[in-house]
Amino acid sequence: MNRNVTLLWNGLIPENPIFRLALSLCPAVAVTTSVKNGLYLGIAVIFVQVLSSCTVSIFKSLIHPRIRIPAYVIVIALWVSVIDMVLSAYDPHTYEKIELFIKLIVVFAIIISRLELFASKEPLVPSFFDGLGMGIGFTFGLCLVSAIREFFGLGQIFGQDIVDLKFLVMILPAGGFFVIGFVMATFNWIEYKITGKIPASGGGH
């Protein structure tokens, strides 16, 4: 298979940031009360991840290895601020909905982890696909968790009433931990069924 496609697939399932790498669990618990929130945050993360990965990949030779972490943080903060400003100017209605989360992306572990582990060593094109894959994987994780929580907690999907169900604990933070735990366990169980091996924790990081 083409390496770029492998990288994309890798971020989606085998190294899914939330369920396999267990990174960025804080936002995964905090914002996944409705699919809409999860989707918006996920899309913002895709942009930040891809732009940061590309930037670091292009300028990697100029970044002194001893200050790489602060340099990465500045790159991430730069792109988050740019997206924040552009969105607040040109699409204030969407911005209103994700205003709360967008600034938090600066401290998402998944982004800096991809910069450190991948983009700082690889050329531009693979970095782009790795960032895109990780972003999509993260979005997929958020959407899955928030769909489960929204359905059981509010009886809704995407803000539409489906069943008359109000299991409030699912919407509260504790419910987030439950759902992520169960989905993670399901992923491990599927992998065990397919490969017959007990999965290593944390995807090796």
Residues making contact with other proteins (CB under 8 A): 31, 33-34, 37, 62-64, 66-67, 70-71, 74-75, 77-78, 81-82, 85-86, 88-90, 92-93, 100, 150, 153-154, 161, 166, 168, 171-172
Contact 61, 80 (CB under 8 A): no
The count of C-alpha atoms lying within 13 angstroms of the C-alpha of 180, restricted to the half-sphere facing its C-beta, is 27
Residue 73: CB minimum distance to other proteins, A: 10
In the complex, the smallest distance separating the C-beta of residue 8 from other proteins, rounded to whole angstroms, is: 28
Phi and psi at residue 133, to the nearest 5°? -60, -45
Q: Hey, which bits of 91-191 come out as E strands?
A: 156-157, 160-161
Contact of 135 with 49, CB cutoff 8 Å: yes
Residue number, 27 or 141, with CB nearest to other proteins: 27
Q: How far is the CB of 14 from other proteins (least distance, A)?
A: 30
Q: Where are the beta strands (DSSP E) in 5-62?
A: none
Question: Tokens 């419910």 correspond to what residue?
Answer: 175
Q: In terms of CB distance, is 21 or 41 closer to other proteins? A: 41
Nearer to other proteins, 158 or 192 (CB): 158
CB 99, min distance to other proteins, A: 8
Residues pairing with 119 in the sheet: none
Q: Which is nearer to other proteins, 171 or 180 (CB)?
A: 171
